[in-house]
Structure 1
Amino acid sequence: MSTIQSITPIPFNVSAKTNWFFISVQMSDGRHAWGEASLNGWEAALQTATPLHAQPLIGLSAESAIAQLRPSPALPGGLVSNAVISALAQALWTIRAQEEDMPLHTALAPLQRKAVPVYANINRATTDRTPAGFAATAKRAAQAGFEGFKAAPFDGVTPAQCATGDAEQHIQHGIDCLYAIREAVGPQAKLMVDCHWRFDEKSALSTLRRLESIGLHWFECPMAETYDNWDSLRRIKDQANQQNVLVAAAETQVGVAAFEMQIREKLLDVVMPDIKYCGGPAQMLGIAEMAASHGVMFAPHNPTGPICTVASLHVACVARGAHMLELQFDESPLYDALIGHQHPVLRNGKYQVPNTTGLGVDLDKKTLAAHPFKPVPFGIETLLAN
């Protein structure tokens, strides 16, 4: 019986703003697999947490190790610990599929669809943060074959500024950027905006009204999905739905249980579990199935590296419902350098299901070694928590 021989964390610098964080699991029979735990700015904590969660798994089979993984919002290590656990789950489920000589999706559940719609997150590729800059990136994504586009143009907005009325200039700039994107991609394209929890209720409702003529597909993460904000989120959702706009959120939630109340309460039209945080492939599939049972859409959150992309695609192909899959667009050529021709090809705005054994992609170790960790700014989650 093959057992876990080693577990190695590997941070990888992508750009001045971004690191990705991968975890390699090596088995005694020579098999290996990757998981992704990217959490911008927290690489040192991920590096420390990996051996804490990995050491008890050394010497176990992949199946036994999977049974030991227990993601939970209550873990002392918080999102850092859950990111490590989620990455370990990605790798171990991949190895389990390799041992059975089947694709990862086959190890999870029966295939429901052969292709999944993909939309381009154009935010980090847009270094020129003007309306013209966002429009130019959107045009490049459209030329690459994407039919859905998402941006986060409300730079500098915070809930505290909204409460004092000091955010208006930043909000108007973001609105101008979204109108420029709409003009660039045309009226039929799906256009989403990620608000990154920057608003209070009043500013979220006002922004929605000012965007009514733009034809948004969804309004993402207007406020933190905490219990104290539930009534506000209900009112925001009511306003959005009156405008034929969906509300999407919940990218940092962990485990099926954490999603249950939000799904049952129908606070959201679309839940966006992230395979890097929610607990891995099986947990993500459980969340998707619960969402389908309650008439809530499932659209995996996926703004980072290729392991997260392909693992999320495997889950989306077997979930009862899969609305769309996110892809970070053109932040860095290192995305393609890591996996090259192994990556799914975009056809008619969709990715086809991988049909090779395991995950279907491997990372290029020379590329990993050539771009070691560099300090980067914290992600927006950390900045708004201060």
Structure 2
Amino acid sequence: MTPSRPAHGPLDAIVSVETFVISIPRDVPYLGPLKDGESINAQGYLVRKGNKTIYPTTDQSILVKVTGESGLVGWGESYGMVAPRVVKTIIDEVLAPVILGRDPAEAVVIHEDLYDLMRVRGFFGGFYLDALAGLDIAIWDLFARGVNRPLVDLLGGARRKVIPAYVSGLPEATLARRCDLARTFVDKGFTAIKFAAAVAEDSIVAEMAALREAVGPDVDLMIDMHWKFTAAQAIRLIRKLEPYNLYFAEAPCEPEDMEGQVAVARAIGTPLALGEEWHTVLEYRPRFEARAMAIIQPEIAHTGVTEFLHIGRMATTFHVETIPHASVGIGIFQAASLHATATLRRVPFHEYQHSIFDRNLQFITGDMRCEQGRFTLPSGPGLGVEPMSEVFDFVVA
């Protein structure tokens, strides 16, 4: 005779979902000062000539607040660099109404149900999946706070309490100053640095050569190629960079060019890193199967916790390393990324967006830090961080 399951209600039924567009001014735009021919438009955006991509001049993201019937709150954050009100509207009008009364302990099931809502209207990516990611993080946070455990415990347990960090970007106006900044980070204990091809002054090879001379032979150097090359161009360039002991080459050609990605991966001796712009395991799977990369870079502000773990665990089955991407935010999704990353195998680094992470720590609680070349996993229940009241001074309508 099969024993019956005891009836039970929700752990802490969701009673409200609120969203906030955050826009924090900054003195220097993301990736560094404006180049010749770049300007800020009426909406506060600029287009980088180096990769034809639009960026905000402020730190923009979406905060998501999910409240349970007990009064406990879970916090999430989504990618909101461009047109963040689109993500807000999707959450407010589409996602939030259908999860009221749901049990946050069903975070994975809720994620799958919300994905199903729009799968026949273009499943894979864009603003809808960004909205789902922020909400997913908040639900996981509420679940973990409800049982008074750190999120990492609910995700399977921490393999590590500290995660090595690589310095992402050297946002100075000249090559000499970028080299000086690189040396400053090495002096602080960092052992890995990535530079951006989109803002290199003239020759990317010269940029790499100067940085290698500046930091010495033992620091790992990476390049973000910002999707600006054809596969053939990327292969030629990466081969020229390899004598300087390039650790990885990131995003060499257009993200939809899977054949080009495979061609690059097969033609170079450097590990190829891809994936910051993909939202689901369904986008990663064919590239795993094609051996398109040696390193994946999931961005939890695009994936949420649920998909991040699907992607990271699939990477393990293909013997691919995970080095998570970190975008613009106040630190809520950064904390979620560290919790999820701590559960995975084959994680040599996590991205450290120093020009964003350090300045925005003032707006969140908790002990999350990046010092001496490594992140410290935030302690306490849930994410271990939450926004301070001061951040709501930067809410925009």
Amino acid at match of 2:350: L
Give the match for residue 38 of structure 1.
Answer: 79
Give the match for residue 277 of structure 2.
Answer: 252
Q: What is the CA–CA distance in structure 1 between the aligned matches of 2:366 and 2:104, rounded to whole Å?
A: 28
Pick aligned residue for 1:209 from 231, 239, 242: 239
Give the match for residue 197 of structure 1.
Answer: 227
Q: Measure how far apart 1:27 and its partner are.
A: 1.9
Structure 2 unmatched ranges of 5 or more:
1-9, 27-56
Q: Indicate the SS of the match to 1:24.
A: strand
Amino acid at match of 2:72: R
Alignment CA distance shift 1:332-1:310 (3 Å):
closer
Q: What is the CA–CA distance in structure 2 between the aligned matches of 1:151 and 1:34, rounded to whole Å?
A: 32
Q: Indicate the SS of the match to 2:218.
A: coil
If asked which structure has higher relative contact order (CA below 8 Å, sep 6+), I would say 1
- Matched residue count: 349
Q: Indicate the SS of the match to 1:60.
A: coil
Alignment CA distance shift 1:303-1:137 (3 Å):
farther
Q: Deviations over 1:321-342 (max 9, x none)?
A: 2221111012476412112652
Give the match for residue 378 of structure 1.
Answer: none
Q: What is the CA–CA distance in structure 2 between the aligned matches of 1:307 and 1:322, rounded to whole Å?
A: 21
Alignment CA distance shift 1:141-1:109 (3 Å):
same
Q: What is the CA–CA distance in structure 2 between the aligned matches of 1:106 and 1:322, rounded to whole Å?
A: 18
Q: Deviations over 1:178-216 (max 9, x none)?
A: 333323322211111111111112221221122122211
Alignment CA distance shift 1:103-1:215 (3 Å):
same
Structure 1 unmatched ranges of 5 or more:
156-169, 375-386
Give the match for residue 135 of structure 1.
Answer: 179
Q: Is the 8 A contact 1:134 1:177 kept in 2?
A: no
Give the match for residue 340 of structure 2.
Answer: 315
Q: Deviations over 1:130-152 (max 9, x none)?
A: 21232233233333332211121
Q: Is the 8 A contact 2:278 2:298 kept in 1?
A: yes
Q: Is the 8 A contact 1:154 1:174 kept in 2?
A: no
Say whether residues 1:188 and 2:218 are aligned partners: yes
The equivalences for 1:84-163 within 5 A come to 84-123=131-170, 126-128=171-173, 130-155=174-199
Q: What is the CA–CA distance in structure 1 between the aligned matches of 2:258 and 2:282, rounded to whole Å?
A: 17
Give the match for residue 18 of structure 2.
Answer: 8
Q: What is the CA–CA distance in structure 2 between the aligned matches of 1:180 and 1:303, rounded to whole Å?
A: 26
Q: What is the CA–CA distance in structure 2 between the aligned matches of 1:30 and 1:136, rounded to whole Å?
A: 49
Alignment CA distance shift 1:286-1:333 (3 Å):
closer
Q: Indicate the SS of the match to 2:261.
A: helix
Alignment CA distance shift 1:320-1:6 (3 Å):
same
Give the match for residue 159 of structure 1.
Answer: none
Amino acid at match of 1:99: G
TM-score of the pair, normalised by structure 1: 0.83
Q: Is the 8 A contact 2:368 2:377 kept in 1?
A: no
Q: Measure how far apart 1:220 and its partner are.
A: 0.2
Give me the identity figure in percent.
Answer: 23
Give the match for residue 306 of structure 2.
Answer: 282
Q: Is the 8 A contact 2:320 2:346 kept in 1?
A: no
Q: Measure how far apart 1:6 and its partner are.
A: 1.9
Q: Is the 8 A contact 2:197 2:226 kept in 1?
A: no
Q: What is the CA–CA distance in structure 2 between the aligned matches of 1:172 and 1:222, rounded to whole Å?
A: 18
Q: Is the 8 A contact 1:101 1:358 kept in 2?
A: yes
Give the match for residue 48 of structure 1.
Answer: 89
Q: What is the CA–CA distance in structure 2 between the aligned matches of 1:144 and 1:132, rounded to whole Å?
A: 19
Say whether residues 1:238 and 2:263 are aligned partners: no
Q: What is the CA–CA distance in structure 2 between the aligned matches of 1:65 and 1:286, rounded to whole Å?
A: 14
Amino acid at match of 1:236: V
Amino acid at match of 1:13: S
Q: What is the CA–CA distance in structure 2 between the aligned matches of 1:372 and 1:319, rounded to whole Å?
A: 34
Give the match for residue 83 of structure 1.
Answer: 130
Q: What is the CA–CA distance in structure 2 between the aligned matches of 1:107 and 1:236, rounded to whole Å?
A: 38
Q: Deviations over 1:103-138 (max 9, x none)?
A: 101101133223221111125xx141x212322332
Q: What is the CA–CA distance in structure 2 between the aligned matches of 1:98 and 1:331, rounded to whole Å?
A: 26
Q: Measure how far apart 1:171 and its partner are.
A: 8.1
Q: Measure how far apart 1:17 and its partner are.
A: 4.3
Alignment CA distance shift 1:331-1:184 (3 Å):
farther
Q: What is the CA–CA distance in structure 2 between the aligned matches of 1:294 and 1:49, rounded to whole Å?
A: 34
Q: Measure how far apart 1:85 and its partner are.
A: 0.6
Which region of structure 1 is more displaced relative to structure 2, 135-144 or 107-116?
135-144
Q: Is the 8 A contact 1:303 1:327 kept in 2?
A: no
Give the match for residue 18 of structure 1.
Answer: 59
Q: Deviations over 1:294-348 (max 9, x none)?
A: 111111111322122211111111112222111101247641211265223534x
